[in-house]
Amino acid sequence: MSKAIIVADFAYKGPQRKGRGTGPQALRATLKYFQFRDTKNNHLAQSREYERWHDHGLGVHYGEIFGNCADLQSKHVLAWTWVISPAPDLMALVPEEQRRDLVCNLTERVVHDYYNERGFDLPEFSYVLHSRLAEAPEGEEPLEQLHTHVILPGTVPSIAERLPVYNNKGHDVLFREIATQHFSNALDEVFGPEWRLLREDPEPEIELPKPPVLSDNFDDWLTL
């Protein structure tokens, strides 16, 4: 099984603006994007009854999340932004009515285990579940690509004072390993080990869903 079954990636926004897409204004714009950009690429959110943010202490609205990130920032990190995106062809094996819960549960397990493996207490976090149609070869129907965007502060709680968290080069390997193991376990439980046969032949790389670099003007990207 040489091809990835899930993409897990992290980036961050620093407390200082150092160019386009950086600093507090960029974080605020990104949070707005996650919350309001729905009609073109995120058909889940076309229903106004759909719960956008899953709150685990960081907030249920972009303004609240931004304020908490500002309060809990470290010297170099205003907020961590994660993407967790299972492979669409494998998610297609999961009954449709179970897919959203699977991705949400997977996201929460990855957050918990990653910080536990790093020796940190669990930080506050919020995440949003997005859906889009993945690119497909000519003549084939595109598959739904469910994925989450996770927002975490730059620090974690501790007994004495909050501790800064930095994700360095080696930590991305741990991150991917944890995400891969949890998704493998979920597929085993829902579908059985036969899903591994789909990874015996070469598969295209999973395209990582990320928001574009946004301007600081909300109206500019709302009409994209």
pLDDT at residue 176 greater than cutoff 60: yes
Rounded mean pLDDT, 4-25: 89
Summarised one tens digit per residue, pLDDT across range 59-103 is 999 999 999 999 999 999 999 999 999 999 999 999 999 999 999
Q: Which fold has domain 6-191?
A: BirA Bifunctional Protein; domain 2 (3.30.930)
Reported pTM = 0.83
Query: What are residue 151's phi and psi, to 5 degrees?
Result: -115, 125
For 28, 43, 55, 145, 175, the CA distances from 152, given in Å and listed in that order, are 14, 25, 11, 23, 14
Percentage of residues of the chain with pLDDT beyond 90 = 64
Q: pLDDT band at residue 213, thresholds of 50, 70 and 90? A: low
Summarised one tens digit per residue, pLDDT across range 19-41 is 787 799 999 999 998 987 654 55
Residue spans of the domains in the chain: they are 6-191
Helices (H) and strands (E) in the chain, counts: 6, 7
Summarised one tens digit per residue, pLDDT across range 107-149 is 999 999 999 999 999 999 999 999 888 776 677 788 899 999 9
pLDDT at residue 224 greater than cutoff 70: no
